Copies of this chain bind each other. A is one copy, B any other.
Amino acid sequence: MFRRRKSEATSLASWNNTETTRAIKAFVEATTTEGSADFLQVKDRIAVFDQDGCLWVEQPAYSQAVFSIAHIRRLAPQHPDWASHELIRKVLADDAVGQATLDELSEADWAEILFVAYAGITQDEFADAARDWLETAKHPKWDRLYTDLVYEPMGELLDFLREKQFKTFICSGGGQDFIRVYAEDVYGFAPHEIIGTSIATYYATGASAPEVVRLPKLGFYNDKEGKPLGIDRFIGQRPAIAIGNSNSDRQMIEWTASGGGPSLVAIVYHDDAEREFGYGPAGGLREPGHGAFDQDFHDWLTENGHPVISMKNDWKRLFAFE
């Protein structure tokens, strides 16, 4: 699997010298310099990041959705019963697996598809299937592995924060177990540093060694209101830094900003249709509120002095391969 080369941490080399970049550096400086009014003890240096669209590309379709459909397609010959499952049939009919098809599916539809596809297998079997896909599947725009499509500026920011003894976590609406398969290799997050939506599991014993097995049932929904709840449950403290890119991150960001201590919250704005995809208040690829953020959230951020990270203006390059 692609492994990001660690950057010269303090350099933030792929960031332009803009107001946003300076604000981020100033916050880290203020919270990690002893004697500063905003100094944070090491134990309080907690930073959380959304994953899809914040640390790597999420367009034209979430990688996990693409993986799930590929997985169903691969297993379909062994599951003749799926032919009579309307939702599964619908997904398999769309060769391109585009966002249009995905957008037609409700969250309940998606849950059902994932439950059908992954129930009854062990956590290790799930990880193997995800790893197989990640090692071969190519993104349609760049014809590269999904794991190549990490935003290099965000990778540099992670390195910078870790050098300054921030503990970094992913807090994603996507599947916790899927992200865990690649996040260590790709950006150095240990499995326990991944918070995400999870399915319920059970402990299976019997003829073979005991295993944790997946159930066709939601465990925890880590999106929107679920993000602060997931952070409280997994990390157990309010972060000092929260960065996302969509309306789904709003609660996590508002909660982080209102903790009373020094905080930095920000949004990655996909305003670079040329180098990547354009979406959000000024974009047009997708409806606001679906993978993007809307004008109201944008205004709240700017009125409160929180950085909106412009991919177009703040980032010299998007990817390490550029």
Seen from chain A, the residues whose Cβ lies within 8 Å of a Cβ on chain B are 43, 123, 167, 169, 176-177, 180, 184, 190-192, 194, 198, 201-203, 205, 209-210, 212, 219, 225, 228-229, 232-237, 251, 254-255, 258, 260
Q: How far is the CB of A242 from chain B (nearest CB, A)?
A: 12
Residue in B closest to A255 when the chains form the complex, CB atoms: B210
Number of copies: 2
Contact across chains for A209 and B258 when beta carbons are under 8 A apart? yes
CB of B123 within 8 A of CB of A210, answer no
CA distance A75 to B176 in the complex (A): 39
Provide the residues of chain B in CB contact with A233, threshold 8 Å: 176, 198, 201, 219
**Is the pair B192, A236 in contact by a Cβ cutoff of 8 Å?**
yes
A-B complex: 3 closest residue pairs judged by Cβ atoms: A191-B236, A209-B258, A203-B225
Additional pairs, 10, CB under 8 Å, beyond known A43-B190, A203-B255: A167-B192, A169-B192, A191-B237, A192-B235, A201-B229, A202-B225, A209-B260, A212-B229, A219-B233, A234-B234
Q: Which of B176, B229, B236 contacts A180 (CB 8 A)?
A: B236
Q: Which residues of B are found within 8 Å of A202, using beta-carbon distances?
A: 225, 229
Closest to A251 in B: B203
Residues of chain B with a CB closer than 8 A to A192's CB: 167, 169, 192, 234-237
B203 touches A228 (CB 8 A): yes
Smallest Cβ-Cβ distance to A177: which chain B residue: B236
Which of B169, B190, B209, B210 contacts A251 (CB under 8 A)?
A: B210
List 14 A-B residue pairs with CB atoms under 8 Å apart, sorted by A's residue number.
A43-B190, A167-B192, A176-B236, A177-B236, A192-B192, A192-B236, A192-B237, A201-B233, A202-B225, A203-B255, A210-B228, A210-B251, A212-B232, A234-B234
Closest to A224 in B: B203
Task: State in angstroms the CA–CA spacing of A251 and B202 once bound together.
Answer: 12
What residues of chain B lie closer than 8 Å to A232, measured between beta carbons? 123, 201, 212
Chain B residues in 8 Å Cβ range of A251: 203, 210
Quick one: closest B residue to A208, CB to CB? B258
Among B169, B176, B212, B229, the residue within 8 A (CB) of A228 is B212
A255 cross-chain contacts in B, Cβ below 8 A: 203, 210, 212
**Residue among A191, A202, A219, A260 facing the most chain B CB atoms (10 A cut-off):** A191
